[in-house]
Structure 1
Amino acid sequence: MRKPNGYGSVKKLTGNRRRPFVFLVSQEGKQRPLAYFCTQIEAEIYAADYNKKHNNKILSGHEITFAELYYRWLPFHIDKYQPAKTTLCSYKVAFQHCLSLHEMPLIKIKYHHLQRVIDDVKRKGLSYSSCKKVRSLLSLMFKYGIMMEYCNKNYAGLLNLGRNKAVRPHKPFTRQKINKLWSNLHIEGIDTILILIYTGMRVGELLNLTKDNVYLRQKYLKITKSKTLSGLRSIPIHDKIFPLIQRRINSPGKYLIADEQGNSYNYSRYRTLWNKLMKQINAKYSTHDCRHTCATLLDNAEANPNAKRRILGHSGGDITDKTYTHKNLKQLRKAINKIK
């Protein structure tokens, strides 16, 4: 599509640059760069918005595409909800799964186009969770599109994901393996597995836990970053792992879980450590199996079901539990210490 005179231009710069695309405008006979971008679509969006605001120029016949919607929606979503880095990464991956839609105008995208994306994800052998992430992205994008009047329909809620078949069912640690963990505390990182087992934390919650969120005197941890609203909670420190927490507090670094230099772990780096530890204790467990272990141990100890939900950060299924039943730290500590 030919752009009008004075509209400006988008060019790709040479070399290995983080933001290789630049939007240029002519001023006094020279081209002046206004902004730099990671992708051409982001640059084109900026150019369109700039001309609409400063020159009252709109490209005739332009139809907003799926990719343009994504790059308009993402800054809005980040500004409003401040999603975690892991969530942003999942959006990026889900967007790449929608490659067949990228150049399509929104008004031409129908239900069968979106369902084909889901079917392609399933055909590649990706998990039910991956399908859900794609559907979630589509729903968020089209809700934004309707709000901004770029489109008038959101088919995401109608998409069929198929049955959820567990790729590898989660399994709790056996008592023998838990005892083996306790007998190998001299191995760097073994304590993190025991902390996960005796708190029921998600691994992301543990890695985001700063020392400011650890209250040794009151013997509890405060989770301030979690994947769900119910995950924001206080967890009593089990008597058996209290020395492990104390040792971590006295080590270098801002975060509770850090290496000898005080550097924190992201999920990828911790998974490398986890795989190494599994080989050392001759076991095959996932990080999430620790959470299942905590739930199983609480069940075996006949802990109060509502206390169990509070510790694990599950939302209550019963309105009475949600609204009227309150468990203070003393009661939660009593429940967690039933685990042996």
Structure 2
Amino acid sequence: MPKRKKHPKLPNGYGSIKYLGKNRRNPYAVHPPVTDYTDEGVPITPKALCYVDDWMKGFIILTSYKAGTYTKGDERDIDLPSDQKSLEIITQRLLADYNKAQGIVEEEKEPEKTFAEVYKDFWKYKFENEKGKKLSESSKLSIQAAFKNAKALHDRPFRDLRHDDLQSVIDNCPLKHSSLELIVHLFRQMYAYADIYELCDKDYSAHVKINKEDDDESGVPFTDSDLKILWDHKDDEIVEFILIMCYSGFRIKAYKTLEINMREKYFKGGVKTKAGKDRIVPIHSAILKLVENRLSSHGALLSGTLQIFRNNMYKKLSELGIEKHTPHDCRHTFSMLCEKYGVNENDRKRLIGHSFGSDITNSLYGHRTVEDLRSEIEKIKVCY
């Protein structure tokens, strides 16, 4: 059930507006200021001036009553604006006029910081302290790019932003999936910072999502001759893992958390997209021994940081005379091998973690067993 919205606190001596509960045509009772008390000093609530269907109407009636202009029945002639913002403006103006008439001087409030101003403070917090100085230049450039791509929010008061405002930036941005990820990440970080310094009421970035398929799939697969060289050096621990990636097709981050079932010989896991997560990929017989060696020697498929492995991979490829490839190119190699050796197209999508798009039949009902997928992946031939 939605919570009833909060209303401004009325000044002392202004009267009261009491909510009588739902299922009433006019659930708000508008009472004038208290003038009588019991012998024990308990205030006696005066008879209601009227009953209205909206708190704001009651507020207007009390203001009119305080000014001496209220006539019974005036509440029937009040028309309120439909949008909440206009109502809030009317409320603040009426309160300000009342306080001015009563000689009450309100504290001048500092204007709310804009998105751009909060970003500026966040930047100092993240990068201009001792911890921040250790962060990479690439991190700084990524955050700067994300901020630039959120231009629609720059001049908006940060506290006034809501989920729909943030989501709109993502939905309307024409850039690639990877750029959208940076924007969402910036939102998360800024709201974490804003929460520390009470610059927001809640984290409106929590449920912002990217509503487009991941298009960050550019890459160049290894050639047959490259693969032959790699298989010739399969005893090298760097090459070993490169081959595992080339014949299983996961993104490199996924190998940190993959479930490895050696009894039934399959991987389960994945990252990023809905289609890519928790998918099952049978372990190709050619890399089964490599996987066993890897688990025996390292206790995991991928140990250490991703960057350390990338650096080692680039160095090893150079030593072997193979043109530079990224870890993501291993995923493209797997896709290329599936296509080359006639793996069923729908099963190729399942193994790689690609969406079926508008193909509802395969998306919802195309269930395949591990052995079904194994028979497909084993079509890939390996030349040792």
Question: The TM-score by the shorter chain falls in which range?
Answer: 0.5 to 0.7
Deviations along 1:232-268, whole A, 9 cap, x unmatched?
Answer: 2111000000000111121243x322xxxxxx22221
| Bigger Cα Rg | 2
What TM-score do the two structures reach when normalised by structure 1?
Answer: 0.56
Q: Structure 1 196/134 Cα, relative in aligned 2: closer, same or farther at 3 Å?
A: closer
The correspondence of residues 1-340 of structure 1 with structure 2, limited to 5 A, is: 60-66=109-115, 94-97=142-145, 105-107=155-157, 131-136=179-184, 170-209=219-258, 213-223=259-269, 225-232=270-277, 233-253=279-299, 255-257=300-302, 264-284=303-323, 285-317=325-357, 318-340=359-381
1:67 Cα offset (Å): 5.5
Q: Quick one: which amino acid aligns to residue 371 of structure 2?
A: K
- Please give the secondary structure, in 1, of the residue aligned with 2:276: coil
Q: Distance in 1 between matches of 2:292 and 2:203?
A: 54
Deviations along 1:148-207, whole A, 9 cap, x unmatched?
Answer: 6999xxxxx9xxxxxx9x9x9622211111111111123231011110111011111123
How many residues are matched? 232
Q: Distance in 2 between matches of 1:92 and 1:319?
A: 41
**Structure 1: runs of 5+ lacking an equivalent:** 1-57, 74-88, 115-126, 152-156, 158-163, 258-263
- Please give the secondary structure, in 1, of the residue aligned with 2:237: coil
Q: Structure 1 61/97 Cα, relative in aligned 2: closer, same or farther at 3 Å?
A: same
What TM-score do the two structures reach when normalised by structure 2?
Answer: 0.50
1:62 Cα offset (Å): 2.8
Percent identity between matched residues is 31
Q: Quick one: which amino acid aligns to residue 239 of structure 1?
A: S
Q: Distance in 1 between matches of 2:371 and 2:266?
A: 10
1:282 Cα offset (Å): 1.2
User: Is residue 64–residue 105 contact of structure 1 (8 Å, CA) maintained in 2?
Assistant: no
**Structure 2: runs of 5+ lacking an equivalent:** 1-106, 123-136, 161-165, 167-174, 195-199, 205-209
Q: Quick one: which amino acid aligns to residue 373 of structure 2?
A: L
Q: Structure 1 59/182 Cα, relative in aligned 2: closer, same or farther at 3 Å?
A: farther
- Please give the secondary structure, in 2, of the residue aligned with 1:214: strand
Q: Quick one: which amino acid aligns to residue 376 of structure 2?
A: A
Q: Distance in 2 between matches of 1:141 and 1:325?
A: 39
User: Is residue 191–residue 203 contact of structure 2 (8 Å, CA) maintained in 1?
Assistant: no
1:296 Cα offset (Å): 1.1
User: Is residue 119–residue 190 contact of structure 2 (8 Å, CA) maintained in 1?
Assistant: no
User: Is residue 220–residue 235 contact of structure 1 (8 Å, CA) maintained in 2?
Assistant: yes
1:96 Cα offset (Å): 3.0
Structure having greater relative contact order (Cα 8 Å, sep ≥ 6): 1
Q: Quick one: which amino acid aligns to residue 62 of structure 1?
A: P
